[in-house]
Amino acid sequence: MSSMHCRQAASLHRQYVHQESATTDPGNSCKFSPANEYAIANLHSQKSMMPKALLLALPLAIPVALFSTQILPSLFQTYLSQQPLVAEPTIATPEKEEWSLEACEAHKYTSEIVSLDPLVIYINNFTSFQEAEDLIKAGEEDFESSFISAATGLKYVTGRTSQSAPLDTDLPLVDCILHRARTFVGSMLQPYEPFSIPQLVRYFPSQKYDLHTDFWPQHQVMNDGSGRLFNRVASFFVFLRDNCTNGETYFPSVSVLDDDADAGGRLSSLDSWAGKISRGVRKDGKAQGVKFKPITGNAIFWVNMKGEGKDAVGDRRVVHAGLPVGEGEKIGMNLWPRKFYGREDD
């Protein structure tokens, strides 16, 4: 098969079954799945019928084109319109944005509870492969050494050696992904409670983020003059590029899955988790906690805060790390829903 067909098929595959292809890179390797083989077969049959079909269709083409563009109501035009064969980056022009938003709204993620208390949820296909690539494109020029946000301000620390980049929330794709996250958290967030600016994080070999929590020990004051206190009530960490070895996200204190470790362990008996979620290992070699392999498009969601109002405190059990990347490159995205916890002068 020519590489052109390979690309076209991969592209068709991305457009019509983009959620299922989230874990592969069809654009680079043209790996086969039943779905893109089907697309390739269709391309071949379209090609061989082309000359005859053209001759027969030519006399009809002009009136049909006029009829379809001028007379049919616009609702039907949607169904008549041809999908472009090549899925291109979606952030540059209004037409591309439209394509992206359409795909964005039609998301098909599924979720699996990993732990109830603390609440940790694994989300399959939170973004499509195309969305992941477009999000990276949207931020990659702005990568800078990562810092941490401490009570005393922003700090560069040896425990966090990645690069970070903010994402522009005015971009329709970013806005749509935030909307998707907001829908996911449901009543946890009031409509007036915002998300932090989404953040890309990139790791090259041996880069890592040591154990930390995403919440602040003390609530932060909003910088809008309102005096409202906020904290990161929950976190989404979305894997956007998984072109690496190691680099798992590790939660040493999420231990519910260790309870039946002696009897084989729930992790090993759940086939759907194979290759995604596995038991973590402590420095002394003992099994502890749970770790998540970077898989493009998939995400981990967890709750950071316990309690309400000013009494809400961070839950230390969701301490986690980005383990060092072995070879290659890992890119992820942080989404942090912010909840308000009273006012400074309350």
Ligand X SMILES: O=C(O)CCC(=O)C(=O)O
List contacts with ligand X (CB under 6 A). 201, 209, 214, 237, 249, 320, 322, 332, 334
Q: Which does 118 bind (CB under 5 to 8 A by kind): ligand X, Fe ion, none?
A: none
Size of the residue set binding Fe ion (CB under 5 A) = 1
User: Residue 134 or 214: which CB sits closer to Fe ion?
Assistant: 214
Task: Name which of 337, 254, 326, 258 is nearest 293 in CA terms.
Answer: 326
**Nearest approach, Cβ of residue 295 and Fe ion (Å):** 18
In the bound complex, which residue of the shown chain has the CB atom lying closest to ligand X? 322
Q: Which does 273 bind (CB under 5 to 8 A by kind): ligand X, Fe ion, none?
A: none
In the bound complex, which residue of the shown chain has the CB atom lying closest to Fe ion? 214
Q: Which does 332 bind (CB under 5 to 8 A by kind): Fe ion, ligand X, none?
A: ligand X
User: Residue 214 or 242: which CB sits closer to Fe ion?
Assistant: 214
User: Residue 19 or 235: which CB sits closer to Fe ion?
Assistant: 235
| Maximum alpha-carbon separation in the chain | 79
**Token duo for residue 58:** 């030519």
- 71 contacts: CB under 8 Å, gap ≥ 6: none
**Nearest approach, Cβ of residue 212 and Fe ion (Å):** 6
**Nearest approach, Cβ of residue 214 and ligand X (Å):** 5
Q: Which does 304 bind (CB under 5 to 8 A by kind): ligand X, Fe ion, none?
A: none
Task: Give exposure, 233-264, as e/b (b: 16+ Cβ within 10 Å).
Answer: bbbbbbbbbbebebbbbbbbbbbbbbeeeeee
**Nearest approach, Cβ of residue 237 and ligand X (Å):** 5
**Nearest approach, Cβ of residue 136 and ligand X (Å):** 14
User: Residue 96 or 232: which CB sits closer to ligand X?
Assistant: 232
Angle at 210 between CA 280 and CA 252, to 5 degrees: 25
Q: Which does 322 bind (CB under 5 to 8 A by kind): Fe ion, ligand X, none?
A: ligand X
User: Residue 11 or 278: which CB sits closer to ligand X?
Assistant: 278
Task: Determine the Cα–Cα distance for residues 234 and 244; give it in Å rounded to an integer.
Answer: 26
- Residue 142 dihedral angles phi and psi, to the nearest 5°: -105, 10
Which residue blocks in the chain are alpha helix, DSSP H? 3-17, 26-29, 34-48, 50-66, 74-80, 94-105, 129-139, 172-185, 266-269
Task: Determine the Cα–Cα distance for residues 160 and 223; give it in Å rounded to an integer.
Answer: 26
Task: Determine the Cα–Cα distance for residues 108 and 65; give it in Å rounded to an integer.
Answer: 34
User: Residue 14 or 202: which CB sits closer to ligand X?
Assistant: 202
User: Residue 5 or 306: which CB sits closer to Fe ion?
Assistant: 306
Q: What mask of x and - would describe binding to Fe ion in positions 93 to 132, judged by CB under 5 A?
A: ----------------------------------------
Q: Is 343 helix (H, G, I), strand (E, B) or coil?
A: strand
| C-beta atoms surrounding 147 within 10 Å | 13
**Nearest approach, Cβ of residue 325 and Fe ion (Å):** 15
Residues numbered 196-255 forming contacts with Fe ion, rule: CB under 5 A = 214
**Nearest approach, Cβ of residue 203 and Fe ion (Å):** 13
Q: In which element (H, E) is residue 229 found?
A: strand 228-232
**Nearest approach, Cβ of residue 17 and Fe ion (Å):** 31
Q: Is 131 helix (H, G, I), strand (E, B) or coil?
A: helix
User: Residue 103 or 132: which CB sits closer to ligand X?
Assistant: 132
**Token duo for residue 133:** 């690539």
Q: Which does 201 bind (CB under 5 to 8 A by kind): ligand X, Fe ion, none?
A: ligand X
- 66 contacts: CB under 8 Å, gap ≥ 6: none
Task: Determine the Cα–Cα distance for residues 142 and 203; give it in Å rounded to an integer.
Answer: 14
Q: What is the binding site for Fe ion (CB under 5 A)?
A: 214
